[in-house]
A and B are shown apart, each in its own frame.
Chain A
Amino acid sequence: MAKQFTDPTLRSSDITPESSYLNRRQFMKGAVVGSAALLAAQTSAADTSKLVSFPSYTSAENSGWPLQVPDVLTPFDDVTNYNNFYEFGMDKSDPARYASAMTLDPWSIRVSSDSGKTSDVQFEDLLRAMDIEERIYRLRCVEAWSMVIPWLGFPLAELIRWLSPEGSFQFVQFQTRYVRAEMRGTRSFSSVIDWPYQEALRMDEAMNPLSFIAVGLYGKSLLAQNGAPLRLVVPWKYGFKSIKSIASIHFTNRLPETSWQSIAPHEYGFYANVNPEVDHPRWSQRFERRLPSSLFSPNRIPTQMFNGYGEYVADLYKNLDLRRYY
């Protein structure tokens, strides 16, 4: 685990100089907040020339985070052009084509809890409060493909601490933004998804240091198809748990219903932990296609338990039958 990881795509110019790293806090307060408006204002998803670079963040190399993945990174173009975001269509290329219709500015997140208190948090305020770091994570889709993505963001635990919900709750529930007029996929009469898309985590899962809120990738702000302006990343679970474009967060003590689980409970469980031993009825989970793959070298690799993050998360499930609670 302590193996030194050198990312071949990072140039020396990408490394944050020590001085700005030390001055980071002051720098962030100014520069990030200034650019937050820009980040949110960036509405054209297909046009990557409008991508906004993060002014400052702690790179994966400098973060001291012990678990930087020694895998080859999935190219930026693949990460941003091969997406599941059914609000914009079922085809993997639909989100890149149509997600730019989503209004990203202004963006506020409705925060509520069972105790009844509700407030709205502006994305800029949230960004101002957080230190941005880079995390390289594997992303394993339940459809048996996978990617390796350098995310930018902050631990979900930090967000929850910052929101400091009054009372103690067992679950945290998320909803994706839902605006019918902006999302052609939600207008499909034949879709069986009950919008908005919902996902949830048990509180101890949410507080695990691996759970991450991404606001960017590859040093740039997120594009709409990747879940701009902010999304969840839970790397030891199948991709559908990592809800995109978060519009609301609810703290609760009841086990929340999640979108895929309510469509097909025998196929999609609440936990959705990556597990090569428990097959999905549609896809064997023993292997995955690490993208980009090709027909003649399909890049099939064996799937690891908890997507390889078992050391950090297995304890969460030690009293759980993962065959039953998949």
Chain B
Amino acid sequence: MLQNHRDDFLNVPISDLRSRVVSGELTVTALVQGYLGRIQTSDAEVRAFLAVTEDRALASAADADRRIASGEPLGPLTGAVIALKDNLCVEGVVTTAGSRILERYIPPYTATVVTRLQSAGAIVIGKTNLDEFAMGSSTEHSAFGPTRNPWDLERVPGGSSGGSAAACAAAMCSGALGSDTGGSIRQPAAFCGVVGLKPTYGRVSRSGLIAFASSLDQIGPFGHDVRDCAELLQTIAGHDPLDSTSSTMPVPEYAESCGTSVAGLRIGLPVEFFGDGISPTCAAAAREAAAALQSMGARVEECSLPATAWGLSAYYVIAPAEASSNLARFDGIRYGLRVSGSGHIGLMEATRGTGFGAEVQQRIMAGTWCLSSGYYDQYYRRAQQVRTLIRGDFDVAFERFDVLLSPTTPTTAFRFGDCADPLQMKLGDVCTLPANLAGICAISIPAGLVDGLPAGVQLMARAFDEEMLFRVGSAYEQVRGALQPPRVGASAEWMAA
């Protein structure tokens, strides 16, 4: 019954799924089987998943159905079936971070966000593909092959959380988690036409997230709409004693912000995010979104964040520097790949030389260089100073504006191989990474299609003001209206299934 109605999977909010399974209209097992069937028919093309945890998911579903039947209390995410970026550790499940060096690594503990999802009743359906150690903007840099964009299989899904974005877009799950270091949730969300949220730094525990750049990384949700992201954040947010950088600030009721009026809110359009290097069509899509909000009573004005011009340079010093240190633990001594060499150091060299891909090696080299004693002041310290300036720009802007609006990406999804120039590729993060450097929250919401491909609009708000993103984002969704599903999502095999 269920599988005959595409809408039962796609664009059905998590809260609706919950009420359907609670009412008995649908069993959780049927729901999970539906997604598994969807993965079976579509993922051969998309390749969003590195592992599908079918047995675990079905066992959890059976347990959930038993609880429902016996009237036991249910968590708020009952009925949510979630895919996890494969840099989130799950006890007993191979976790690769997209790297050969962890090809057979099975963590002995589970990331806090995953534990929280599971205790809220969500079911994990599998682990999704990513650029190796989350380094990249296309999910082409996974050691296990690229993921394809469900809208156009010749195009990239964006990165590094491309697997999670694609899985969500192709309705292979009700939501997904990714990690965002410089735009790794928002950029693929924009390319794949789903909602992706980078919460404020410290809002969500990073415990169990295989680190890329500790001071920039933040775990966040993908959803079919803003409310789904709000519900997922509700569950994963909050202080965790296992992560000292996680905030003790109370977690608001995020879903309550969805659907509240935007009349009188002040929206800023930072001119730097609409200028050189930004395709006119993406900029136009963002301006249209602003106009739509204005029609709902918001006040829209241009503003400037001058220091963001240096954001890309600062980011490409800080992120590799921290990565070079974070990745030092992959040495072949205790777990993962081991390639023998002469003596201890030889073993480490051979393991790291074989286990890490080119992109990762390049960033480790760059980061090592930036931290070395002769260059620390010139690069790392300088970059941290730029970061302070960027924060200052945002502080000034947020005195005038409740939210800032921009395109999420300079272009829509590019074709495989079209972005051979690494610098060009890195420019893809130019709109997203200022939020990571400043530690504020930001969300990407589909802004319709540009030449048949999704474009994203980005909203940025003050640190810990995710409520503002949900409020403005859900208002925009109302005026924008429903979206059509991607090509793969509408494929005939699935319709017939």
A, B from the same assembly: no
Q: Which residues of B pack against A, CB within 8 Å?
A: none
Q: Which residues of A pack against B, CB within 8 Å?
A: none
